[in-house]
Amino acid sequence: MPLKTKEEYFDSIRQLNLPVYIMGERVANVDHPMIWPSINCVGVTYDLAQDPLYDDLATATSHITGKKINRFCHIHQSTEDLRKKIKLLRLMGQKTASCFQRCAGLDVMNSLNAITYEMDADLKTEYHQRFLNFLKIMQEDDLVCDAAMTDAKGDRSLPPSQQADPDMYLHVVKKEAKGIVVRGCKAHQTGATNSHWIAVVPTTTMKEADKDYAVAFVTPSNTKGITYVYGRQSCDTRKIEDGTIDVGNLNFGGQEAYIIFDNVFVPWENVLMCGETKYSGRLVEIFANYHRTSYGGCKVGVADVLIGAASLMTVYNGTAKASHVKDKLTEMVHLAETCHACALAAQSEGSRHSSGGYLVNGLLANVCKLNITRFPAEISRLTQDLAGAVIGTTPSEKDFEIPDDIGKLMKKYLKGVANVSWEDRVRCIRLIENITMGTGAVAFFTESIHGAGSPQAQKVMISRYSNVSMKEKLAKKIAGIPDGSNST
């Protein structure tokens, strides 16, 4: 049966026994309180696939086996598949108010499907069949894939082959009869310790001198030589405190980690690019386009939760009827739906690839992501504006239990309107704090800026896709300017 239950997923991750380090210590990755909320997030993707209510969104039919599979393991076969992906991501954001860590894996698998097909067609390699063999494993066992693209990078002014330390970009250090040996580090890896397999791809366009860095492969996440160092997030240690209020989002959260590859062996059957520099930039572009539209799903789902929390705070504060409050809430909805509309447009204007998969519209994908780099920040600002200074000043939940009536007085003074309890108001305060300032802000704010490339990367691609010369011709025709003339 291709569809796992959430509990089966939890057990499968526990069995990996990944070498994960948090705050200087190796931990049991699944059950550590700082990691568990992110594991639980991924669990929701398995729950939805088991729920008949969401069957159309959360599952799909495999194009290689014909079996019912989790959509997070699917290769898009139509623009409708692309749209369903975005709607699923928004639903997941609504249910977790967090990063749920499977988007990048889905996007990298679709990217590898396309690029390996192109390489085989041009170079007569065997990469595409290798990829399909891997994909079948992912679909049949309903596994989670981590997309490992971003390198440590070192000196950003230098290409990979000119770095003082060659390991600043992951690279091939040895080729053997049975495979390759790689070394380096993949940084900012969303959901790394929640994944069964890692798909490693280049982070930038490579030149001939960089051919050792033009490498793509898949490997089990517990392969010998791979170590995970967990990233810190704002307010993350609240997860290991007693209590249920201060953490803000008790059950769900995202995670980032650095993945260190220390002379890791990869058999040839798992190698999907090895020195073909011509295709490195193309792979990055395809992945970036997919992933930049993903944010128009997941971040909008989180925004739905944040807008709801902002609205609740205006009710709890007694300000809900003020005209400026209604105007700000409307603006927040407008910003969120603009992002979602761009994402859906990029899917609807997608096109069939020669492999049979479907690609998104590149121009609209980058417009979508450029909006995402700006609008979640404005939604966060408006939320804090409406909620008030309590977002940054509310005492610990333990202070509400101080004896000698101090705790009772704190409960009294943290109330808003008379018919809403202090606890409901403080829980809403902490949720807003989590999404706009705490661990949730990584998923909603930081990822919105830097995930799938920072704003300048989108501007470069928008310029490349914009076809200004065509627009000049349109203007000349309307103005009556001969097409061949140039003003001096």
- The residues with which 85 forms a beta bridge, in sequence order, are none
| Pairing status of strand 59-61 against strand 68-70 | antiparallel
Q: 453, 369 in Cβ contact below 8 A?
A: yes
Active centre residues (catalytic):
99, 103, 190, 256, 291, 295, 298, 447
CA distance 121 to 144: 28
353 φ, ψ (degrees, to nearest 5)? -90, 155
CA distance 184 to 172: 9
Q: Alpha-carbon torsion 216, 222, 228, 233, what sign?
A: positive
CA distance 183 to 212: 11
* Six-digit token string for 327: 């105007």
Helix segments in 221-279, DSSP class H: none
Residue 57 sits at the vertex; the CA angle it makes with 51 and 62, to the nearest 5 degrees, is 100
- The residues with which 219 forms a beta bridge, in sequence order, are 198
What is the enclosing helix (H) or strand (E) of 240? none
| Pairing status of strand 68-70 against strand 145-148 | unpaired
CA distance 254 to 101: 7
Q: 144, 194 in Cβ contact below 8 A?
A: yes
Q: 214, 277 in Cβ contact below 8 A?
A: yes
- Strand, coil or helix: what is 28? coil
CA distance 162 to 176: 25
